[in-house]
Chain A
Amino acid sequence: MNSTKANTPARPQQKVAPDSERRLLQIKDTRVWYTTVAGEAKVVDGVNVTINRNEVFGLAGESGCGKSTLVEGVLRLIKSPGYIKSGQALFTYPKDGNAGETTVNLFELGLGEIRPLRWQHIAYVPQGAMNSLNPVMRISDQITDAILEHGNSTKADATKNMLHRLEMVGLPPSVARMYPHELSGGMKQRVTIAAAVTLRPELLIADEPTTALDVNVQRVILQELLDIRKELNLTIVYVSHDMAVHAELADRLGIMYAGAMMEVGTTSQIFKDPLHPYTQGLIRSIPDISKERVRVEGIPGLAPSPLAWPTGCRFHPRCQFAKDVCRRVEPLLTETKPGRQVACHIYTDAWNEKSPGGTVQ
């Protein structure tokens, strides 16, 4: 599996700074808040995560945990009353072609500075492909306008590029002349994927692209996405609440809960050996078709409100292992072994000091 390869700890003897070389996007202590009449909604509240080159990074978590807001923050698409409270998103990309690589903090760029980065370096497959295409423009115009906006390709080149990408996602050239309402949901989703890779971006952020589709179409589109990724050497951040999709697609996974990153690891690590009690609950909630029919276990309780996250560990009201320390102290995302991080007191030395309240596994 790709996942093991991508996550083998960097060997120092191979390169001087392999960790930083593999790094494509480093999100540090990022907060995206919304101003509401009831106070600040801390939808994303202190996320740390690193996306490496050429991996598919799955961003998982239940609805309202801040996954989409986090990627919209990185894409700088947050609209008022939302705002990026603090943090860094360090993105490394080849500025001006081959003249070496530059690292910029996406949050510090002005809107005029971020615009050239979009589509050329960071592309986006939107959550609602259904409504993401302009109903009164032909598909071809909606793909080529972005190509023509960046760089200096001719109209003919742009059209060729567009048709080639449509072909990659299995759409006939006739689709180019159509209007969005003439396409099915799956076709529209394919169009957004084709459009996103026209300029061969370093990073592709896909926000629940298949959620609205039926499982058959979903399956085909995921396969196409994997093929494209292989062909173009893309890095993909894939946002989905669907753990089954992540199992199929992602090399590494980040589990979000209540606006924070709870656990990061390779997909096989997360599925085989989930560390965080929340992740454990998530995994347990996937039905296993190879076993006898049993009632699928859910996680008790409701997701908390972003207006007032629980104190200490945000998961403690729903956690069966919760102790006094969980209510008081917020656990930090710490590395348990290279490439594996978890934010839970169970894995700290302090856990067993007083009373062995909750045992791990």
Chain B
Amino acid sequence: MLKRHPIFAYYLRKLITYVFTIWGAFTITFFLFRLLPSNPVDAWVKTLERQYAVQQSSSVANTAAYYKEQFGLNGTLGEQYVRYMYQVFVKGNLGPSFVNYPDPVQTLIMKRLPWTIGLLGTSVILSWVAGIVIGLLAGWFRETRFSGAITNIAISLSQIPAYLIALLLVLVVGYGLKWLPTRGAWDAQYSIGFTLPFILSVLQHAILPATAIVIVSVAGWILTTRSLIITLLGEDYLLYAEAKGLKPWNIMRRYALRNIMLPQATGLALTLGAVMNGQLLIELLFVYPGLGDLLNLAINVYDFNTVLGVILISIVSVMTASLLIDLALPLIDPRIRTQIQST
């Protein structure tokens, strides 16, 4: 029978790791940005001085001091850190944004999160499914010309950065052939809402960026799946399954696919977690209103609050994905279950 305690101890251990890793990663990010030689308010004051010949005066200093307080930039670094952590983790407030003052950072993030999740989440899942299916076939029929061709194409594609493919798509399909829109997430003539024209416009705008991402990431999934399958083909239990007279399709499904799902599901969860950073360059190229685009805007003006907010989302989603895998693995793989019970 299943012993309960070791599993719970395992879950507890993973949960503690989860909390401390998030805290650690976030702290490091906080100090790294504070190490920058400027901050949003000083940078803004300098811009004003340069562009509008504003004179150094006490009123400017007062205004600057006021905004510094607003953004949590007053006091020593230690004070800033404690105040910020308290504000974020206890009050659940990421502070005001600078790029869109006085909107709070969470409002900006919530506005852009659906776009990133929609575009990148869909592309990642699409390429995962396609990659596994193609990789499975390429591995299973590894001595055929089809498999060789697929492998070579995948190797080439996996080495090309997504933004290069994106550039090509923008140039050829967007500007050259003018088949598809290349800017934004929807056509400005439609208002946001659950209306058919708006949804169609969103889908139309998503095709090119999604294609750029899928083309590159599908190659990675094909290659890993193929090599997992080829390793698996040497296993005795596949020969045994064949000796049992099972249909090849059943062997492929129940013996090969099932056994590679473990590493591939882990990989998918991690990739989905990482998606939250937004594919920075892809979003820039397509002027896609996702988190990557927001991060880019924020970095340009030293908007610490927004940058940290986006990075926090990213840290938390990567960590949550890996926590979920850790929690789910014992349920998927009986061997891990036993290992945990015996420790």
Contacts and interface: CB of A to CB of B under 8 A. Distances in A.
B340 interface: no
A146 interface: yes
Contact of B236 (A80, A126, A146): A126
A145 B242 CA distance: 12
Interface in B209-243: 235-237, 239-243
Interface string B311-343: 000000000000000000000011100100000
Contacts of A126: 236, 239-240, 243
Contacts of B47: none
Contacts of B247: 115, 149
A4 interface: no
Contacts of A77: 239, 242-243
Nearest to B337: A179
A194 to B, nearest CB: 13
Contacts of A124: 240, 243
Nearest to A179: B334
A136 interface: yes
Interface stretch (B24-32, B106-114, B152-160, B255-263): B255-263
A332 interface: no
B79 to A, nearest CB: 53
| Interface size classification for chain B | 20 to 34
B328 to A, nearest CB: 14
B236 A118 contact: no
A292 interface: no
A102 interface: no
Given A131-B237, A137-B254, A75 B259 contact: no
A150 interface: yes
B236 A131 contact: yes
Contact of A134 (B243, B259, B262): B259
B326 to A, nearest CB: 18
A97 to B, nearest CB: 17
Nearest to B237: A134
Contact of B245 (A80, A117, A134, A182): A117
Interface residues of A, number: 32
Given A80-B143, A134-B255, A134-B259, A149 B236 contact: no
B335 A181 contact: yes
Interface hub of B240, B246, B259 (most chain A Cβ within 10 A): B240
Nearest to B258: A136
Contacts of B333: 136
A149 B237 contact: no
Contacts of A279: none
A212 to B, nearest CB: 12
Contacts of A131: 235-237
Interface string B133-176: 00000000001000000000000000000000000000000000
B241 A118 contact: no
Contacts of B243: 75, 77, 118-119, 123-124, 126
B70 interface: no
Contacts of B235: 131
B262 A116 contact: no
Contacts of A119: 243-245
Contacts, number: 79
Given A117-B245, A133-B237, A181 B250 contact: no
B236 A132 contact: yes
Nearest to A199: B245
Given A131-B235, A149-B250, A115 B245 contact: yes
A237 to B, nearest CB: 14
Interface in A125-144: 126-128, 130-137
A89 B135 CA distance: 36
Given A77-B239, A136-B262, A182 B244 contact: no
B48 to A, nearest CB: 64
Interface string A270-302: 000000000000000000000000000000000
Contacts of B338: 179, 181-182
A120 interface: yes
Q: Chain A CB within 10 Å — which of B242, B258, B335, B338 has the most?
A: B242
B258 A149 contact: no
Which of B244, B262, B335 is most buried by chain A, counting CB atoms within 10 A of its CB? B244
Given A136-B333, A181-B338, A145 B240 contact: no
A128 B237 CA distance: 9
Contacts of A137: 254-255, 258
Given A80-B143, A131-B237, A179-B334, A136 B259 contact: yes
- Which of B236, B250, B255 counts the most chain A CB atoms within 10 A? B236
Nearest to B332: A136
Name which of A128, A136, A137 has the most chain B CB atoms within 10 A of its CB: A136
A297 to B, nearest CB: 35
Contacts of A118: 242-245
A195 B259 CA distance: 21
B254 to A, nearest CB: 7
Interface of B: 143, 235-237, 239-247, 250, 254-255, 258-259, 262, 333-335, 338
Given A75-B243, A145-B246, 6 more contacts: A80-B143, A123-B243, A131-B235, A134-B259, A149-B244, A195-B244
15 contacts: A75-B243, A119-B245, A127-B236, A131-B235, A133-B237, A134-B237, A134-B254, A135-B334, A136-B334, A137-B254, A137-B258, A150-B245, A179-B334, A181-B334, A181-B338
Instruction: Pick the 7 closest A-B CB pairs, nearest first.
Output: A118-B245, A146-B244, A131-B236, A179-B334, A132-B240, A124-B243, A119-B245
